[in-house]
Amino acid sequence: MSLTGLFLIVFLVVHCSINSLMFLNDGGLFFNEAAHFMASNILIRTIEILLFLFLIIHILQSVAITRQNMKARTISYSGTSATATSKWYSRSMGILGSLILVFLIIHLKDFFIPSRFTARLGLDNNGTPDMYSEVKGAFQNPAYAMIYIFSMIVLAYHLLHGFQSAFRSLGVYHKKYTPVIEFIGIAFSIIVPAVFAAMPVYFLLKK
């Protein structure tokens, strides 16, 4: 779980950085070029296969762990006060993860497939497949934008527990460095989903 999770975290950095190019005020030309590079470079495409593989392993591991953990207690307490001893999102990783999976299916269908099968896309002024207009069109639909913003809040909570939990599962615990990892984890969990969520907001405001 932890190794696949950390790989997915690294992927988020790459994805977030490239998508931030949409904020440049150039009508999406640079973003289209970057998106086209990511879609056509052989090395990136190879890593992409690994990414899907790790995503599937991450999901399968979570199903296995959840099943094992549910078997450990089949009679539950009549009254629990779990809120006193742990954070709600640390106890809800399965639900948060499932919501992210639903989001991913929508996301891949609407953006990944058009970006990889670019024949569906128009061309921009430089003659590059126009992913920018595709994104812009989708995000200018308020309902669609809301799904994205909600999903990024879900992702933020998933990361808030997942980031530091991954290090703990790998046995990393140090009086000096663990608080640093936890701080980076909190910052990452806020900044990355916030940048992603800013994209639909940006296009809605631009409308």
Partner 1 sequence: MRLTLKVWRQKNKSDKGGFESYQLNNVDTHASFLEMMDVLNEQLIHENGTPVAFDHDCREGICGSCSMVINGRPHGPLKGTTTCQLHMRHFNDGETITIEPFRANSFPVLKDLVVDRSSFERIQQAGGYISVVTGSAPEANNIAVNKVDSEKAFDAAACIGCGACVATCKNGSAMLFVGAKISQYALLPQGHPERNERVLNMVAVMDEEGFGGCTNTGACEAECPKEISVANIMRLNREYISAKLSVQKE
Question: What does the per-residue mask of binding to partner 1 show for 65-104, with x meaning CB under 8 A?
Answer: x--xx-xxxxxxxxxxxx-xxxx--xx-x-----------
User: SS3 for 115-165, per residue?
Assistant: HHCHHHCCECCCCCECHHHHHHHHHCCHHHHHHHHHHHHHHHHHHHHHHHH
Provide, rounded to whole angstroms, the least separation between the CB of residue 72 and partner 1.
Answer: 3
Site track 47-66 with partner 1 (rule: CB under 8 A), x = hit: ------------------x-
Read off the DSSP letter of residue 108: I
- Residue of 135, 136, 192 lying closest to 159 (CA atoms): 192
Binding residue for partner 1 (CB under 8 A) from 52, 168, 179, 207?
Answer: 168
Closest CB 166 distance from partner 1, rounded Å: 9
Q: Does 170 bind partner 1 (CB under 8 A)?
A: yes
Find the length of the chain: 207
Rounded CA separation 146/142 (Å) = 6
Is residue 25 involved in binding partner 1 (CB under 8 A)? no
Residue with tokens 């497939």: 113
List contacts with partner 1 (CB under 8 A): 65, 68-69, 71-82, 84-87, 90-91, 93, 161, 164-165, 168-173
